[in-house]
Structure 1
Amino acid sequence: MKHRIIVLGAGYTGATAAGRLARRLHREDVAITLVNAEPDFVERVRMHQLAAGQDLGLRPLGAMFAGTGVALRIGKVTAVDVERRTVTVLDANGAEELAYDSLVYALGSGWDPQGVPGTTEHAHDIAGRPGALRLRERLAGLDAGQPVVVVGGGLTGVEAATEIAESRPDLDVALVARGGLGDWLSPKGRRHLRKVCDGLGITVHERTAVTGVEADGVTTTDGGSVPAGVTVWATGFAVHPIAKATTLQVTSTGQIVVDGTMRSVSHPDVYAVGDAAMVRGPGDKPLRMSCASGVPSAWQSADAIAARLTGGKVPNTPLRYFNQCISLGRREGLIQYVTADDRAVRSALTGRLAALYKELVCKGAAWGVANPTLGIPTRRRRVVRTAAPATPVTEASA
């Protein structure tokens, strides 16, 4: 009987893990099923571009995984039972329970309203394709001179504000940041970010927290308000809630606690990758939710599963950062070089060259998903039926 591997979620991490597993293991030994709610792969790092009116070509998952041995199942995951080793998938034909021997949990995250009153009723998100398309339609209907407010001064908020301001210079775009503008960047990075925002006519409200969202603007902690015909909420992400409803060991935010090989510390047949996992990097610091964190965690999980099933040596490569890639519209960019634990150093690449660098990174990430079984040695190893241990493997033994 084949070893059944189910991968939940076909974003950057899930799709990468499924493709890498297919390349590592013999088809005669494993049955790999990739479950996703939509039939297309979504370039999440480009959702600000989609919202701003740019056309992004569809990438059908069926075409991407054709001939790889990965079975694609389109449906919404509604439940995971880690004791019975089953997942429940809902599609047009109803609900079905799928059994697994190994599970890769890659359901990712969505927008986080953070309990701020009025956010879900009046704000727009760009955490996924549906939200970005709704925002795109709303922005297209705005007349010249209308105000747009982007709440959130992190990477997502900065990219959204600059993209909208560049594509619609007739709108009055404002960015509301809880801290200082780009306060996590190097001095050179902060100067460049401010220069670009000034050049695009973006009004920046620094050290300002939003306490409420209304149909015509946002209210702030100082008792003031910022007018908005459209409010974009980009203050961070919240993980999919399903893991928290299981007996998996999770954090207070619902992320699955894993070891260095992305294996659940409470259930050894479950691996978690990307935003869904609490992964600690250099200095024992949690990795930020990002594609830069997620893809290496997918590599790690796939290689660990393959090694354990085939009796090979389990790799445990420390995950680290090299830079933060920020698009500031289509003509400007910022590449902030960082330490292994994601702290900014003095060096930064700016301007048009940085924009091209970021574009290459985005294309490379999408290419890696669209070609899931390329770039990996072709020699597949056979599954050893006694290879998978019944209890978690410690870091020392791995």
Structure 2
Amino acid sequence: MTTPNPTTRPTPPHRPIRVLVLGAGYAGALAANRLRRDPRVEVTVVNPQPFFVQRIRLHQWVARTADPQVGFDHVLASDIRVVVDTATRIDAARRRVDMASGAALDYDHLIYAVGTGAATPMIPGAAEHGFGVADWVAAQQLRDHLETLDRHEPVTVIGGGLTGVELAAELAERGFGVRLVGGGAVAGSVGPRARRALLVQLGRLGVEVLESGRVVDVTSTTVTVADGGQRRELPSATTVLTTGFEAPPLAEDSGLTTDELGRLCADVTLTSVDDPRIVGAGDAVSIDGMTLRMSCQAAQPLGAQAADAVLAHLDGVAAAEVDQAFVAQCTSVGRRAATLQFTRRDDSPARMVVTGRLAALAKETVCRGTVWNIHRESKTPGAFRWLRGGTRPSAGRPSSASATVVR
């Protein structure tokens, strides 16, 4: 008796099942490759750039220490169609997506993996005079602007999260006079030992850290910082905003349910609460009952689970609930140092911390590994594995998973 192969799928129908993936970041690219486990599926990816952007290297791109561009021929399977365009509206009723170019694409199922960009804080002058680093376009604009400055000119980074720390360090190592304004805390997501190490490493690079300071006004040449009841106007040739993320307005503009950050609202199987043919993945999805840190560490497993959810829908079985665990938070501090904060599976800081060159090596390994994961999935769909048993949906939240065949 022959043992069934769990990865074997039925013979393809006469017309392929069209799955459209919006976004080719960490989640979207991995999901697109994984969908090829089912020979019935024809995959089309829509992405604004004609290449994969390694987002966790954007601060390096700004400082000219690395190139985050990776050719699609290296990370996507050759039979995946790539459309270089931007989705402007999802017509869920007609199963069609309108594009900025004026074209439209029809689909049978859709994976929503458009990612996020920088959220502009409610600071006077920030929108007009501040730069971002959270996406390719913003990073390119900042990089071009920095080329017009002389070395040692003052740069202000607003936001004490890990993105702000990494960017401040990279620019300081390049020779700019960098000020990091924490807004109340620097590296608040890591434990006290890792936080102390990060502050020491920033100090060695000459970064001025105003941890409790808050920027209350931005001009093209200054920032005003409030701290302890006092206000100081400080010179700033460039001001960069690293104060959080928000999703693009695509889901909201399409009449789909979103959260306060504009992310697509999905149930515990990543399926849209509005339409079972739409599945979310990565930073752009808000999962019922879960809070996940926006990161490639979460995005790639979510991409895999989104693809598996679509394939489950095609087979008429219930999609699995999201099961996502974390391992660590690794923060580069220039090219020669980093801090590696190990975490529990729920992403809370553990006691173990590694610093210095060993941590920098670990960070570089992680950066390369994210691309390798996607590349391997393009060659062997279903090969990607992730750590489970971590953050799960809150108890008592019902799953809307269904065994209904959706084709």
User: Normalising by structure 1, what TM-score?
Assistant: 0.88
CA gap 1:287/1:317 in 2 versus in 1, 3 angstroms: closer
Q: CA deviation at 1:4?
A: 1.3
Q: CA deviation at 1:334?
A: 1.0
Q: 2:139 aligned with 1:128, yes or no? A: no
Structure 2 partner of 1:255: 263
Structure 1 partner of 2:178: 173
Pairing of 1:277-288 with structure 2 (within 5 A) = 277-279=285-287, 284-288=289-293
CA gap 1:66/1:377 in 2 versus in 1, 3 angstroms: closer
Q: 2:105 aligned with 1:105, yes or no? A: no
Structure 1 partner of 2:124: 117
> How many Å separate the matches in 2 of 1:346 and 1:58?
35
Structure 1 partner of 2:200: 195
Count residues with an aligned counterpart: 373
Structure 2 partner of 1:325: 330
Structure 2 partner of 1:237: 245
> How many Å separate the matches in 2 of 1:178 and 1:377?
43
Structure 1 partner of 2:168: 161
> How many Å separate the matches in 2 of 1:161 and 1:370?
31
Q: Is the 8 A contact 1:187 1:346 kept in 2?
A: no
Q: CA deviation at 1:219?
A: 1.6
Structure 2 partner of 1:209: 214
Pairing of 1:1-398 with structure 2 (within 5 A) = 1-22=15-36, 24-26=37-39, 29-56=40-67, 58-62=69-73, 64-67=75-78, 69-91=79-101, 95-168=102-175, 171-221=176-226, 222-279=230-287, 284-311=289-316, 314-376=319-381, 394-395=400-401
Match of 2:70, as an amino acid? R
> How many Å separate the matches in 1 of 2:274 and 2:107?
17
SS of the aligned residue for 2:271 comes to coil
> How many Å separate the matches in 1 of 2:121 and 2:257?
23
Q: Is the 8 A contact 2:61 2:68 kept in 1?
A: no
Q: Is the 8 A contact 1:62 1:72 kept in 2?
A: no
SS of the aligned residue for 1:150 comes to strand
Instruction: Tell me whether 116-125 or 42-51 shows the greater mean CA deviation.
Output: 116-125
> How many Å separate the matches in 2 of 1:145 and 1:63?
38
- Aligned-residue identity in percent: 37
SS of the aligned residue for 1:212 comes to strand
SS of the aligned residue for 2:100 comes to strand
Q: CA deviation at 1:90?
A: 2.9
Q: CA deviation at 1:312?
A: 5.4
Instruction: Tell me whether 195-204 or 136-145 shows the greater mean CA deviation.
Output: 136-145
SS of the aligned residue for 1:224 comes to strand
Match of 2:135, as an amino acid? G
User: Normalising by structure 2, what TM-score?
Assistant: 0.86
> How many Å separate the matches in 2 of 1:108 and 1:370?
20
Q: Is the 8 A contact 1:89 1:97 kept in 2?
A: yes
Q: Is the 8 A contact 1:147 1:172 kept in 2?
A: yes
CA gap 1:149/1:46 in 2 versus in 1, 3 angstroms: same
Structure 1 partner of 2:11: none
> How many Å separate the matches in 1 of 2:347 and 2:68?
32
Q: Is the 8 A contact 2:75 2:378 kept in 1?
A: no
Q: CA deviation at 1:13?
A: 1.0
> How many Å separate the matches in 2 of 1:61 and 1:376?
16
Q: Is the 8 A contact 1:10 1:41 kept in 2?
A: yes
Q: Is the 8 A contact 1:285 1:341 kept in 2?
A: no
CA gap 1:191/1:85 in 2 versus in 1, 3 angstroms: same
Q: Is the 8 A contact 2:157 2:168 kept in 1?
A: yes
SS of the aligned residue for 2:170 comes to helix
Q: CA deviation at 1:41?
A: 0.7
Q: CA deviation at 1:141?
A: 3.0
Q: Is the 8 A contact 2:86 2:99 kept in 1?
A: yes
Match of 2:54, as an amino acid? E
Match of 1:101, as an amino acid? D
Match of 1:217, as an amino acid? T
Unaligned runs of 5+ in 2: 1-14, 384-397
Q: CA deviation at 1:285?
A: 4.4
Q: CA deviation at 1:196?
A: 0.3
> How many Å separate the matches in 1 of 2:382 and 2:74?
22
> How many Å separate the matches in 1 of 2:223 and 2:382?
53
CA gap 1:116/1:314 in 2 versus in 1, 3 angstroms: same
> How many Å separate the matches in 1 of 2:315 and 2:184?
49
CA gap 1:18/1:143 in 2 versus in 1, 3 angstroms: same
> How many Å separate the matches in 1 of 2:201 and 2:139?
23
CA RMSD, Structure 1 to Structure 2 (Å): 2.2
SS of the aligned residue for 2:350 comes to strand
Instruction: Tell me whether 263-272 or 251-260 shows the greater mean CA deviation.
Output: 251-260
Q: Is the 8 A contact 2:257 2:264 kept in 1?
A: yes
Match of 1:343, as an amino acid? S
Match of 2:30, as an amino acid? T
Q: CA deviation at 1:62?
A: 4.7
Deviations, residues 133-186 of structure 1 (Å, cap 9, x unaligned): 222233233224311111110011000001111122xx2111000122223322
Q: Is the 8 A contact 1:186 1:347 kept in 2?
A: no
Structure 2 partner of 1:389: none
Q: CA deviation at 1:270?
A: 0.5
